Amino acid sequence: MTEKHEIDLEKERKEILNAFRGLLRAHKNRTREDTKLIRKAFDVALDAHSEMRRKSGEPYIYHPIAVARICAEEMGLGTTSIVCALLHDTVEDTHITLDDIEELFGQKVRRIIDGLTKIPEVFDQSVSVQAENFRKMILTISDDIRVVLIKLADRLHNMRTLGSMRYDKQQKIASETKFLYGPLAHRLGFYSIKSELEDLAFRYTNPEKYNEIKQKLKSTEEARKRFIRKFTLPIKEALLREGYIFKIKARTKSIYSIWRKMQSKGVSFDEVYDIFAIRIIVDTPPELEKADCWRIYSLVTDFYQPNPDRLRDWISTPRANGYESLHTTVMSKTGKWVEVQIRSKRMDEIAEKGFAAHYKYKESKKGETKFDLWISEIRDLLESAESNAMDFVNEFKLNLFNDEIYVFTPKGELKVLPTGATILDFAYDIHTEIGNTCIGGKVNQKLVSLSHQLKSGNQIEIITSSKQHPNEEWLKYVVTIKAKQRIKQALNEEKKQIAADGKEILARKFRQMDIDFTSENIKVLEKFFNTPNATELYVRIAKGKISTKKIRELKKENKKLKLPERKREKETKPKFNELISKIDSKKDTILIGDDFKDIDYTMAPCCTPIPGDNVFGFITINEGIRIHRYDCPNAEHLLSKMAYRCIKATWKNTKSKENLAMITIHGVDRVGIVNEITNIVTNEHHVNMKSISFETKDELFIGKVSVLVYDTDHLEELMLKLNQVEGVQRVERDKV
C-alpha cells in the first residue's frame, strides 16, 4: 500500500513539472531573468500548497499553474502577472504572509496579491456579500488592473473544473459568472474568454438546452465544413492573386449566443442564419490596415452580394473596449446569409487578448484611447460611490454593455454610449453642469425631450436653462453610471439646501418657544418624529411634513426638551433682524411706486416683474426687499419654505413709466418676416425696442426682442399681434 502511494506521488511530481514546463512554453519572449522569477514563484507556491488538494482530489498546485497559463497563453499577460497568478492563493490559504511576498518578490507583486486576497470566493454566501466582494475587486482597478485580469483567469479555471463541485455550488458559481464575469470579460475585450465563460455557465444552469444545441452543432459540423470550403475558395484565390499574406478562419457561434438568438428572435436552431462567421485576417502594416481591409471587402463582394443593412465599420470607429473589425453579411450561392469579418493581425490580437494587446499597441495610437476613458469613468464612479454594494454592482453592470451606439456633437465629435442612452445621458457625458441644466435637445435639428432614446448616427445639440435642476424622476431617464451618479449628487446638494432652510425654520420656532437650539434637543425631536438623523428632520420640517405645532405640544408634555435658565437677551443685529422687526408680514403691503418704511425694494432679476404682474416681496439677508412674480421659478420655494419673510405687494398706477421686458419668438424662416415683426413692434404698437437678435438654422428661427412697455396688458397685446404673423409658431415672455 505504502509503495503504491510513493509511486503515485512520484507520478504526480512529474505531472506537476510537466504542467510547469507547459506554462513556460506558453510565456513566449521571456528572458532568463523572467524564467528565474517564475521558477521562484512556482517553488514558493508548490511548497506552500504541498499538503493541499482540490475537490477533484488532484494536488492544489495544478490550479495556480493553470491560472498562470491562462494569463500567459490566453490573455497575453507578462511575467509579473504570471508570478502573481502562481502565488494568488498563498496568502489566503497558507502560512505565507504579505510581508514574505514583498521580501521575496517586491512591492508591486505584494500590492497585486493583496488586491487578490481581498476578494475571497463567496460561493456559500448571500448575494449582498457577493456584491460587496465584486465591489472590492473593481476598487482595485484604481490600483492595478492586473488584479481583475488574474481574477478573471482564476474564475475561468474554476468554471473549467466546476464538475467536481456540489450541485448547489455549481448553480451559484455559474449564475455569478453569467451575471458579472461574462460581461466583465467582454468589456475588457477578451471575447473568447467571455464566450467560454458564458457557455460553461449555460452548461450548468440549463444543461438540457446546452446539450441539445451542442449535439445539433456536432451533427451539422461536416456539412458546415464542406460549405465553408466551397464558400472561401474563390476568396482565397483572389487574395493570393493580389499578393496578400492572410489566414481565413471559420468561427462557430458559442452555444450560449445561439441560445440567446433563438430566445430573442423566437426562432429554432435551423433558423439561426449566423451559426458561424468567416474571419479573414490580413498581415499588413498599421498604415495600410484600413485600406487593405476595405480592398478585401471589395474582393469579397465581387463574389457575393452584401446586405447593406448589415455592414459594421468598427475600423473607422472602434468599440469602446478597443475592438476593431469590418463586418459584412453576404449572400452565398446557395441562398444562405454568411457573416464575413475582415481585420488585420493586430486587430485580431486585440479582439482575442483584449486589454493586454490593447496596451501593447497603445503607442501607435495618438492620445487617450476609449479604453482609458472607460477606466477613468470607473475610477470616477468609485470616488463618488455612496450607494450600497448591490446598487454599485447593478450600476457597474450597466456600464458593461454589449451594444453601443455612436452619436455626434454639433461639431462632429464622436461619442460612444450604451444602447438605450437618452438625451440626458448625452448631456452628462459632455459635462455635469450641462446635464444638470438640460431641458431637452435637438436630434438632427428636431426638438426632443430629456427621455428621448438616441440611435447611432444621431447628431445631438443640448438645450439648457439656468432655471433647470435635477429631480428624482431623472433617474428613470438615464442608463449610464456617470449620469446616475451626477443626478444623485445634485439631489443630495438640493437636499442639503432644503435641510438648511428647515434648520432655519426650526431655530426660529425654538426662539419663539424659548427652547435651546442644542444637539440634545434635536435628538429628542429625532426620536419623537421617528427620523433617522437631523438632516432628515430638517428636510421634513422644510417640506411641511412635520408640524411645528407638535413641537409646542411636545414642550408642554415632555420634560426632555431643555429650556434656557434665563430669557436670552435680544440680539442686536443686523439689517435682516431690523427689517423683520419693522415689518408685519401679515398686515403690511408694499405699494410699488411709493416709499415703504424707508426700506429699499428692487425687482428680482430672476423674473423681472412689470406693472400688472401678480407679485410679492421677499425680505433678503443683505439686499433689502426683492419683488418677485408669483409665477417666478423661485416663488414656490420662497412662499412655502420661508413664508415668514414674504410680504404682500401691489402696483401703484404707473402708466407713465416704461418697463423693460424680453420676448422670444420661434418660427419658420421666410423672406421679410423679420421686417414684418419689427414693423408691428415699432409702428403699429409704438413700442420702443431696446435690442433685437435673430438666429436662423435649417429654415427655423429664434428671435429675441427686448422692449419697453407700460404693463402686462401692453405686453400681452403686443405678443398676441406677433403670434398672428405668418410663420410665427409661438411667442413667449422671457427674463431680461
Residue ranges making up the domain that contains 300:
215-364
Please determine, for residue 155, whether its predicted confidence score (pLDDT) is greater than 60: yes
- Specify the pLDDT at position 594: 72
Please determine, for residue 56, whether its predicted confidence score (pLDDT) is greater than 80: no
- CB environment 622-633: b (16+ within 10 A), e (fewer): eebbbbbbeebb
Which of 625, 651, 677 represents a domain boundary (last residue)?
A: 651
Residues 65 and 156 in one domain: yes
- Specify the pLDDT at position 127: 46
387 occurs within a structural domain: no
- Residue 94 gets the label, from left (phi > 0), alpha (psi -120 to 50) or beta, of beta
Residues 61 and 193 in one domain: yes
Residues 139 and 283 in one domain: no
For the purposes of burial, counting CB atoms within 10 Å of the CB of 28, is it exposed (0-12), middle (13-18) or buried (19 or more)?
exposed
Confidence grade of residue 576 (pLDDT, cut at 50, 70, 90): confident
- Specify the pLDDT at position 560: 62
**Which range, of 592-596, 610-614, 645-649, averages the lowest pLDDT?**
592-596
619 occurs within a structural domain: yes
The SS3 of residue 644 is: helix
At 280, which CATH number? 3.30.460.10
Residues 595 and 547 in one domain: no
Q: What mean pLDDT do residues 564-581 have? A: 55
Containing H/E element for 400? Answer: none
- Specify the pLDDT at position 280: 95
Query: From the candidates 34, 58, 92, 516, which is the catalytic residue?
Result: 92
The whole-angstrom separation of Cα 245 and Cα 266 is 41
Please determine, for residue 570, whether its predicted confidence score (pLDDT) is greater than 50: no
Query: From the candidates 15, 47, 93, 103, which is the catalytic residue?
Result: 93
At 723, which CATH number? 3.30.70.260
- Specify the pLDDT at position 399: 52
399 occurs within a structural domain: no
- Specify the pLDDT at position 156: 92
Residues 300 and 155 in one domain: no
Cell of 481: 453610471
Confidence grade of residue 342 (pLDDT, cut at 50, 70, 90): very high
Cβ proximity of 186 and 321 under 8 Å: yes
Cβ proximity of 155 and 177 under 8 Å: yes
The whole-angstrom separation of Cα 428 and Cα 414 is 15
Which of 340, 364, 388 represents a domain boundary (last residue)?
A: 364
The whole-angstrom separation of Cα 424 and Cα 417 is 12
Confidence grade of residue 455 (pLDDT, cut at 50, 70, 90): confident
233 occurs within a structural domain: yes
93 is catalytic: yes
74 is catalytic: no
Across the chain, what does the average pLDDT equal?
80
Residues 125 and 230 in one domain: no
- Count other C-beta atoms under 10 Å from residue 213's C-beta: 23
How many domains does the chain contain in total?
5
Residues 199 and 70 in one domain: yes
Of residues 574 and 119, more confidence is placed in: 119
pTM above 0.85? no
Taken in order 507, 509, 510, 511, the sign of the CA dihedral is: positive
Alpha-helix residue ranges (DSSP H) falling in 106-254: 107-117, 127-139, 146-160, 167-176, 182-187, 191-205, 207-219, 221-241
228 occurs within a structural domain: yes
Residues 526 and 619 in one domain: no
In this structure, the chain runs to a length of 736
Residues 158 and 289 in one domain: no
- Specify the pLDDT at position 448: 85
711 occurs within a structural domain: yes
The whole-angstrom separation of Cα 200 and Cα 87 is 25
Q: At residue 568, what is the residue type?
A: R
509 occurs within a structural domain: yes
Residues 543 and 622 in one domain: no
Confidence grade of residue 302 (pLDDT, cut at 50, 70, 90): very high
Please determine, for residue 392, whether its predicted confidence score (pLDDT) is greater than 60: no
At 135, which CATH number? 1.10.3210.10
Residues 83 and 162 in one domain: yes
Residues 641 and 663 in one domain: no
461 occurs within a structural domain: no
109 vs 14, 104, 118, 488, 525, CA distance in Å? 28, 9, 14, 37, 53
Q: What mean pLDDT do residues 316-321 have? A: 76
Which of 180, 205, 230 represents a domain boundary (last residue)?
A: 205
